[in-house]
Amino acid sequence: MEEQDYIQFESYLLGDLSKDESIVFEEKLKTDVSFKQAFEIYKDMSSHLKHEIENEQENSDFKANLDVISNMYFNKLEKDKTIEQPSHKFNFYKYGIAASVIILIGFFVFNQFSDPTYEDYNSFNTISLTVRSGENEAMTKAEHSFNSKDYKEAIIAFNEILENDYSNLEIQLYKSIALVETNQFQEADELLLKLSQGNSAYQDNAKWILALSYLKQENITAVVETLKTISQNSEHYKVAQELLNQLD
Amino acid sequence: MSAKKIHEDQKYVDGLAANNTFIIQTIYDKFAPKVINYIKKNSGDAYDAQDVIQETIITIYNQAKQNKLELTCPFDAYFFLLCKRKWLNQLKKIGGKEVTINEEVLSEDDDAPMLSFESSVFENKEALFKEAFLELGEACRDLLNATFKIKSMEEVAKSLKITYAYARKKKSLCIGQLTKLVQASPKFNQLKN
């Protein structure tokens, strides 16, 4: 094809050709096979670029959400299987177990007679970021630091991961926990607000951690407000209600 | 194609395009077990199934987002065939084994094999387009990135300090170059196979 052909493709797609020009153009599409082939690729390529570039953020949100749902589904399958066959070793999937499943917060330790504190709720379970195929240094470091409660080091490693994979919501959530643990509330709350407003499966987890962050900051009004937004389907709903009752 | 009636399961396709969490979860609950079963019976495990399903859903999402998917058959049959073909192609790649993909009839619906085949072609085409874009010169890549991000050609021209007419011409020629790169790729002729 000549330069002129591509310029004409663009004009046709934009609807910029006159009626007569369009008729000639469409006639050529019918009769000239190589013209038609080039035009079809040009058209599909334009649609591809539009989708990839214009919807970039939307697409990565979708993939992140899909990742969470997929992990939750397959982890549940694996868990059911483990119950059936107690000897079966637990396997972790690509990005480890979904956060919603593993952030089981130890709420049974608190003292019913004193005011609830952050420390009553912050016994976070260990995380697993073990990548199934191939070791990843940052993931290993993040996992190890987080699990040994070295949250400063964990934040460094999370940032490293996010540099290449900025839309990884699971890592963002873990990072926010580490930020709350190290009293970097402003950054933590910003991140958690973003996650809790997003359209992902991490929404309620983020709300729960945000409530804990406010609790640590002793901003009880904000704790109550945040707890009230946790949906009934969330696994944190029950503990959220209990905390609400304590605060009332 | 346009004369055919859209199946009510189009709701799954639309739900994916809208990143609807509930719909995505439903797709897993309803349609994943059959795929997992199939892959496990054919030299794979749950991990393989997880990857295949995830990649397949991304393909459907991409196609739906570009308004190129109108379901005229049940989602179940379409989805299963698409996953199955993906898995068999992977087996072929890993093992170098010759795997015959026979499309046994799943339902009386004739559209499922056709639609799932079209989606496979779409997926390969997208991959080829991505490769071509990476081969493109930096100036063209910058211009196209700006064009599709900013939308208004006037503003693109302003931000790149070129005239409107030149920006528009350049855009056509850059996509023209991509077109040539695609046609020159050996993969292009294999698309329909």
Report how far Cα B150 is from the mean position of its chain's Cα atoms: 25
Q: Average of pLDDT values for A218-228? A: 93
Which pLDDT tens digit goes with each residue over A28-53? 999 999 999 999 999 999 999 999 99
| Whether A53 and B148 lie within 8 Å, measured CB to CB | yes
- By the 8 A CB rule, do A203 and A193 touch? no
Per-residue pLDDT at A45: 96
What's chain A's length in residues?
Answer: 248
The DSSP code for B9 is: T
Q: Does B68 touch chain A (CB under 8 A)?
A: yes
| Cα–Cα nearest to A147, from A82, A96, A79, A108 | A96
Closest by CA position to A169, among listed A139, A137, A198 = A198
Q: What is the pTM of this model?
A: 0.65
Domain ranges (residues) in chain B:
10-124, 136-190
pLDDT average, residue stretch A61-67 = 88
Verify whether the Cβ–Cβ distance B46 to A77 is below 8 Å.
yes
Given a contact cutoff of 8 angstroms between Cβ atoms, the answer to whether A161 and A142 are in contact is yes
ipTM above 0.85, yes or no: yes
Query: What integer pLDDT is reported at residue A95 of this predicted model?
Result: 41
Q: pLDDT-derived band of residue A120, with 50, 70 and 90 as boundaries? A: confident
Q: How many inter-chain contacts (A to B, CB under 8 Å) are there?
A: 111
Chain center to CA of A177: 15
Q: Which residues of A34-69 are buried (b: 16+ CB within 10 A; e: fewer)?
A: ebeebbebbebbbbbbebbbbbeeebebbbbbbbbb
Query: What distance in Å separates residue B108's CA from the closest CA in chain A?
Result: 30
Span A220-228, mean pLDDT?
93
* Residue A141 reports pLDDT greater than 60: yes
Residue reference for tokens 């996010």: A162
Both ends of chain B: CA-CA distance in Å?
Answer: 21
Q: Which amino acid is at A112?
A: Q
Looking up tokens 């170098």 gives B96
> Looking at the predicted structure, is the pLDDT value of residue A107 above 80?
no
B108 against A238, higher pLDDT: A238
Q: What is the pLDDT of residues A1-11, one digit of tens each?
A: 899 999 999 99
Mutation target to probe the A interface, by most A beta carbons within 10 A, among B48, B50, B147, B168 is B50
- How far from each other are the two terminal CA atoms of chain A, in whole angstroms? 74
Angstroms from B121 CA to nearest CA on chain A: 12
Question: What token pair was written down for B26?
Answer: 């439903």
Which band of pLDDT confidence, cut at 50, 70 and 90, is reported for residue B97?
low
- Which A-chain residues 12-71 have CB contacts (< 8 A) with chain B? 37-38, 41-42, 44-56, 58-59, 61-63, 65-67, 69-70
pLDDT score of A41? 96
